Structure 1
Amino acid sequence: MINRLFYEPLTPENSITLDLSAKNKELKRRIYSKIDAFCAYIEEKLGAKYGVGGYLEHRIIYEAHENFATNADDFRNIHLGVDLWAPAGTPVFAPLAGIVHSYQVNRGSGNYGPTIILYHPAENIYSLYGHLGMEDMAEIDEGMTFDAGELLCHLGNSDENGGWPPHLHFQLIRDLQGFHGDYPGVCSKRDVAFYAENCPDPATF
């Protein structure tokens, strides 16, 4: 499904796997805790390619944002979607026919920023698009329908997307559990079994 999100399909020639896991020893706090340094790091890794990865990846980068702490000793640090890294303004297309379930700007350091959630009746599943541009919020409304392949939104910059290098957080969700315009994109290790079932891997869906 992720191959349908951008204008061109992702291939080994135009994309790389981007490792932001705790195993990446070169990604130190002095990089991920400062947006300019983090953006420069991502740009260097990507070159002129797309970056892809992150499903169920254990990341320490969330420790730079207080809202991911559940208590003094525990962080939500398991990533539940796939990240697709590309320049701000990159258009994103609906991978499946769907209806806008909800949308909102999820503010705060490390949050989604502008977010859209689609419902796909044929597959009975939801898809979440986070870290978008603010301009997309003015063009969207609940109940709008999108055909597969239709332009949906654009990637936001770090001033509007929750303070991240430009990328799309793309997540599939079976049960929204009453959420509206938002859904956890990161969980604690103790909750992985539930979320892995409720949020299947978009790369294999």
Structure 2
Amino acid sequence: MEIFVFMALNEFQDLLKSIVPHSLLPSYITPTDYVPLNLSVENKELKSVNVGSVQDLQNYVWHIMAKNTGKVAYGGYLEKRGIYKRSDYFNQEDPNTERNIHLGIDLWIDAGTPIYAPLSGTLHSFNNNTNFGDYGPCIILKHQIKELEFFTLYGHLSLESLSNKEIGKQIEKGEPFATLGTAEVNGTYPPHLHFQIIKDIQDYKGDYPGVSNILNLQFYKDNCPDPNLLLKIN
């Protein structure tokens, strides 16, 4: 059984590597506009930043972009972060059950930025997840390539992104289908997209864990591989 799971995971990762995706962001964003961002607890610069403050965190992220003459900051897969301590939705007394390990990749860019489908699929589900520090408006697409079914999740969207949506609707590769939300609606974060790949969606609809604790990390690493296998940003 373990060998089967391992081979299936490798097959899935190889499939993601073979896909040529459409950019999630508008065409005016070029490969040189992406700036890597480290929001992990190991980043010593963050010790002087109040990461629980939306404005302070935004000032830091936008400073990193300006310093590197970029238009979008990206990163975060499997990053252990301190920014979730502000919310009871993630925080637990036991450090083993505290959810603080990020399972997607974040693209930090202005609110209102349109989001494009990286590949064709259908609209699996959508929801406004209103817990403090949650996704806010979130859309999940279902894809099937070479008999392999998987899902992509888009979190921290605008409320308008959920308007006139229909489950099962075909979304074409390169089609704009959402925009980024402001802190007032996106779970109280500086504007950014949380993008995550999910192999088995289980029973979730319009939501899926985007942050793990250490106890469940191996399961989520297997079920949610590095999004950059598909996006190929760096």
Q: 35-44 or 125-134, which moves further after superposition? A: 35-44
**Uncovered stretches (5+) of structure 2, i.e. residues with no partner:** 1-19
Cα distance change on mapping 1:183 and 1:203 into 2, 3 Å:
same
Shift in Å at residue 29 of structure 1?
7.6
Amino acid at match of 1:67: Y
Of Structure 1 and Structure 2, which has the larger fraction of its residues in helix? 2
**Uncovered stretches (5+) of structure 1, i.e. residues with no partner:** none
Aligned to 2:226: 201
Shift in Å at residue 72 of structure 1?
4.3
Over residues 149-174 of structure 1, what are the superposed CA-to-partner deviations in whole Å (9 max), with x where a residue is unaligned? 00110111111100000000000001
* Identity of matched residues, %: 41
Structure 1 vs Structure 2 CA RMSD = 1.7
Amino acid at match of 1:40: N
Q: Contact 1:31–1:41 (CA<8 Å) still a contact in 2?
A: no
Shift in Å at residue 30 of structure 1?
5.2
Over residues 64-100 of structure 1, what are the superposed CA-to-partner deviations in whole Å (9 max), with x where a residue is unaligned? 1111024444410110000011000111000010101
Aligned to 2:194: 169
Aligned to 2:17: none
Amino acid at match of 1:133: S
Query: Does 1:49 find its partner at 2:68?
Result: no
Shift in Å at residue 56 of structure 1?
0.7
Q: Distance in 2 between matches of 1:79 and 1:6?
A: 21
Cα distance change on mapping 1:77 and 1:182 into 2, 3 Å:
same
Aligned to 1:7: 26
Q: Contact 2:141–2:152 (CA<8 Å) still a contact in 1?
A: yes
Query: Does 1:95 find its partner at 2:130?
Result: no
Q: Distance in 1 between matches of 2:163 and 2:42?
A: 39
Q: Contact 1:95–1:149 (CA<8 Å) still a contact in 2?
A: yes
Query: Does 1:64 find its partner at 2:89?
Result: no
TM-score by length of 2: 0.82
* SS of residue paired to 1:156: coil
Cα distance change on mapping 1:181 and 1:41 into 2, 3 Å:
same
Aligned to 1:32: 51
Q: Contact 2:139–2:153 (CA<8 Å) still a contact in 1?
A: yes
Query: Does 1:137 find its partner at 2:156?
Result: no
Q: How many residues align?
A: 204
Q: Distance in 2 between matches of 1:50 and 1:82?
A: 12
Over residues 26-53 of structure 1, what are the superposed CA-to-partner deviations in whole Å (9 max), with x where a residue is unaligned? 2138521111211212211112521110
